Chain A
Amino acid sequence: MDLNGLTLTEAKEGLLSKQFSSSELTKACLKRIKATDEKLHAFVTLTEAHALEDARHADELLSEGQDLPLLGIPFVIKDNFSTKGIQTTASSNVLRGYIPPFDATVVAKLKAAGMVMLGKTNMDAFAHGSSTETSDFGTTKNPWNTEFLPGGSSGGTAASVAADQTIAGIGSETAGSIRQPAGWCGIVGLKPTYGRVSRYGVVTMASSTDSPGPMTKRVEDSALVLNVLAGKDPHDGTSSPKPTKDYAANLKKSIKGKKIGISSKYLEGVEGDVVKAFNEAKKTFEKLGATVVDIASLGVDILDPKYSIGVYTILQRAEVSSNLARFDGIRFGQTRDAFGEEAKRRIMLGTYTLSAGYYDAYYKKALKVRTIIVSEFHKMFEKVDAFIAPTSPSTALPLGSSKNHPMFGEMADVLVEPSSIAGLPGINVPAGFSSKNLPIGLQIMGPQFAEDIILNLAHEFETNTEWHLQKPQL
Chain B
Amino acid sequence: MAPAKTTAMKYTPVIGLEVHVELKTMSKMFCRCSADYFGKEPNTHTCPVCLGLPGALPVANAKAIEWCIMIALSLNCEINLLSKFDRKNYFYPDLAKGYQISQYDLPFGKNGSIELKSGKKIRIRRVHMEEDTAKLTHGQLGDQNSELSAKGGSAPSGKSQNNEKVSLIDFNRSGVPLVEIVTEPDFSEAGEVKEYLQKLQQIVRYLDVSNADMEKGDMRLEPNISLQVTRNTPHEGKNVSPVTSHELPSYKVEVKNINSFRFVEKAINFEVKRQEDILEKGQSPVQETRGWSEIKNQTVSQRLKEEANDYRYFPEPDIPPIRHTKEQISTLLSRMPELPDAKYSRFLREFSLNDYDTEILTREKSLADFFEEAVRVGKDHSVTPKQIANTLINKKVDPSSSEPASIVKQIVQSGQVTSIKEEELEKIVTDVLESNQKAVGDYKSGKETAIMFLVGQVMRQFTTKIDASVVKETIKRRLS
Interface residue range, chain A: 35 or more
Query: Which of the 9-residue segments B158-166, B312-320, B367-375 touches chain A?
Result: B312-320
A-facing residues in B379-418 (Cβ within 8 Å): none
Interface of A is mostly: loop
In the complex, the answer to whether A201 meets B56 with C-beta atoms within 8 Å is yes
Q: What's the Cα separation between A471 and B169 when bound, in Å?
A: 54
Q: What's the Cα separation between A246 and B97 when bound, in Å?
A: 37
Query: Which of the 9-residue segments A97-105, A160-168, A401-409, A425-433 touches chain B?
Result: A97-105
Interface of B is mostly: loop
B173 within 8 Å of A by Cβ?
A: no
Q: What's the Cα separation between A234 and B27 when bound, in Å?
A: 15
Q: What's the Cα separation between A199 and B55 when bound, in Å?
A: 7
B-facing residues in A73-88 (Cβ within 8 Å): 80-82, 88
Query: Which of the 9-residue segments A28-36, A277-285, A318-326 touches chain B?
Result: A318-326
A82: chain B residues within 8 A (beta carbon) = 48, 53-55
Tell me the nearest residue of chain A to B49, going by C-beta. Answer: A235
Q: Mark A301-331, 1 if CB is under 8 A from B, else 0.
A: 0000000000000000011011011111011
In the complex, the answer to whether A207 meets B317 with C-beta atoms within 8 Å is yes
In the complex, the answer to whether A237 meets B89 with C-beta atoms within 8 Å is no
A98: chain B residues within 8 A (beta carbon) = 54
In the complex, the answer to whether A236 meets B59 with C-beta atoms within 8 Å is yes
Closest chain-A Cβ to B314's Cβ sits at a distance in Å of 6
B443 within 8 Å of A by Cβ?
A: no
In the complex, the answer to whether B54 meets A322 with C-beta atoms within 8 Å is no
Query: Which of the 9-residue segments A37-45, A131-139, A217-225, A348-356 touches chain B?
Result: A348-356
In the complex, the answer to whether B59 meets A101 with C-beta atoms within 8 Å is no
B215 within 8 Å of A by Cβ?
A: no
B48: chain A residues within 8 A (beta carbon) = 82, 100-102, 201
B96: chain A residues within 8 A (beta carbon) = 326
B310 within 8 Å of A by Cβ?
A: yes
In the complex, the answer to whether B54 meets A88 with C-beta atoms within 8 Å is yes
Q: What's the Cα separation between A204 and B55 when bound, in Å?
A: 5
B-facing residues in A179-230 (Cβ within 8 Å): 199-204, 206-208
A318: chain B residues within 8 A (beta carbon) = 314
Closest chain-B Cβ to A344's Cβ sits at a distance in Å of 15
A396 within 8 Å of B by Cβ?
A: no
B191 within 8 Å of A by Cβ?
A: no
In the complex, the answer to whether B55 meets A202 with C-beta atoms within 8 Å is yes
Task: From A80, A206, A237, A356, give the contact of B310 (CB < 8 A).
Answer: A356
Closest chain-B Cβ to A260's Cβ sits at a distance in Å of 32
In the complex, the answer to whether B310 meets A322 with C-beta atoms within 8 Å is no
B126 within 8 Å of A by Cβ?
A: no
In the complex, the answer to whether A326 meets B89 with C-beta atoms within 8 Å is no
In the complex, the answer to whether B98 meets A359 with C-beta atoms within 8 Å is no
In the complex, the answer to whether B93 meets A102 with C-beta atoms within 8 Å is no
Tell me the nearest residue of chain B to A195, going by C-beta. Answer: B320
A326: chain B residues within 8 A (beta carbon) = 52, 54, 96-98
Closest chain-A Cβ to B135's Cβ sits at a distance in Å of 14
Task: From A104, A204, A206, A322, give the contact of B89 (CB < 8 A).
Answer: A322
Task: From B51, B56, B98, give the contact of A322 (CB < 8 A).
Answer: B98
Q: What's the Cα separation between A355 and B314 when bound, in Å?
A: 10
A-facing residues in B300-323 (Cβ within 8 Å): 310, 312-314, 317-320
Q: Mark B329-372, 1 if CB is under 8 A from A, else 0.
A: 00000000000000000000000000000000000000000000
In the complex, the answer to whether B318 meets A328 with C-beta atoms within 8 Å is no
- Asked if A236 meets B57 with Cβ closer than 8 Å, knowing A322-B98, A326-B97, A330-B93, the reply is yes
| Contacts A/B (CB < 8 Å), 12 sampled | A82-B54, A88-B54, A98-B54, A100-B55, A104-B55, A201-B55, A203-B55, A236-B59, A237-B318, A238-B319, A331-B51, A351-B312
Extra 17 A-B pairs, beta carbons < 8 Å, given A321-B312, A356-B310: A95-B54, A100-B54, A100-B55, A102-B53, A200-B56, A201-B55, A207-B318, A237-B60, A238-B317, A238-B318, A322-B314, A326-B97, A328-B91, A330-B169, A355-B312, A359-B313, A363-B314
